[in-house]
């Protein structure tokens, strides 16, 4: 057995996901069902955070798993299965978001702030009852944070989701998103600054001095 094959065999022995995927590769549908069971929460979660719509997130998550199955013969156990899975999820979500930008499919509700709804700052500011000092109900806070997440560009949002909710390090995120580690660092730095900007009222206390230069620029990060 050559070096690569030996390494792959060792990885397969250690990683139950790889063992399952190798069974899927040989056409075992029950192994595929087990993989879906194991990863459905994570894939649906990522898609939901990215798209902000649960039904669409489930449809897309299903498509991710179907692509896994369709491309099973191309799978080689040289990397973690989750990295391969999230790479497919990232590609698919990017396509959907790109197509959504070109051709919006959902009607936008008309509001006082115009067809695009309240801007993040409008939603966050104003109402004194919605300050940390007065306490917030969790649902309201979740809605505000959802708005903050939507204020990030797509790549920032994906990097944040993978880092925050999938606990991925920069190198893993870089592999999934096809970027350099340096670009991921830059993405996350700008994303954090943008989040702080939008969540301003929940980050700084009333009597707290606000640091200068907190505004994130929105220039595109270089890959």
Partner 1 sequence: MSEPLDERTREELTAYLDGEMDEPAAAALEKRLRSDPQLQRELESLKRAWDLLDFLPQPEPSPEFTARTLNRLEIVRSPQPATVTMPPLGSLPGATPPRGSLWRWVLTAGVAGVAGYFLMGLALPPTPRPPTPAELEERLAADLRLLDRLHLYRYAESVEFLRALDHPDLFGDSP
Nearer to partner 1, 82 or 163 (CB): 163
Q: Least distance from C-beta 69 to partner 1, angstroms?
A: 6
The residue (of 11 and 141) whose beta carbon lies closer to partner 1 is 141
Min dist CB 96 to partner 1, Å, is 17
- Of the CA atoms within 13 Å of residue 177, those in its CB half-sphere come to 29
Measure the CA–CA gap between 47 and 62, rounded to whole angstroms.
10
Cα of 47 vs its chain's centroid, Å: 7
- Least distance (Å) from partner 1 to the CB of residue 83? 17
**From the CB of 9, what's the least distance to partner 1, in Å?**
28
Nearest CB to partner 1, comparing residues 14 and 139: 139
Which residues, other chains included, contact 211 with Cβ-Cβ below 8 Å and sequence gap of 6+?
A: none
d(CA 158, CA 152): 9
CA 5 – CA 194 distance, rounded (Å): 45
User: Which spans of this chain sit near partner 1 (rule: CB under 8 A)?
Assistant: 29, 32-33, 36-37, 40-41, 44-45, 48-49, 54, 57-58, 61-62, 65-66, 69-70, 138, 141-142, 145-146, 148-149, 160, 163-165, 169-170, 185-186, 188-189, 192-193, 195-196, 199, 202-204, 208-209, 211-214, 217
- Residue whose structure tokens are 């790479």: 87
């Amino acid at each position: 057995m050559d070096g690569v094959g030996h390494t792959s065999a060792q990885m397969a022995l250690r990683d139950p996901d790889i063992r399952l995927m190798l069974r899927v590769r040989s056409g075992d549908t029950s192994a595929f069902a087990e993989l879906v069971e194991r990863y459905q929460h994570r894939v649906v979660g990522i898609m939901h955070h990215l798209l902000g719509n649960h039904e669409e997130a489930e449809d897309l998550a299903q498509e991710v798993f179907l692509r896994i199955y369709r491309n099973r013969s191309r799978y080689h156990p040289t990397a973690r299965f989750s990295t391969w899975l999230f790479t497919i999820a990232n590609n698919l979500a990017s396509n959907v978001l790109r197509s959504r930008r070109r051709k919006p499919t959902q009607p936008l509700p008309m509001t006082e702030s115009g067809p695009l709804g309240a801007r993040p700052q409008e939603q966050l500011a104003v109402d004194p009852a919605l300050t940390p000092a007065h306490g917030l109900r969790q649902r309201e806070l979740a809605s505000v944070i959802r708005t903050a997440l939507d204020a990030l560009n797509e790549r920032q949002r994906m990097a944040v989701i993978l880092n925050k909710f999938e606990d991925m390090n920069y190198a893993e995120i870089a592999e999934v998103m096809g970027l350099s580690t340096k670009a991921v660092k830059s993405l996350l730095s700008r994303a954090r600054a943008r989040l702080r900007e939008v969540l301003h009222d929940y980050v700084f206390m009333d009597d707290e001095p606000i640091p200068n230069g907190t505004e994130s620029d929105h220039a595109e990060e270089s890959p």
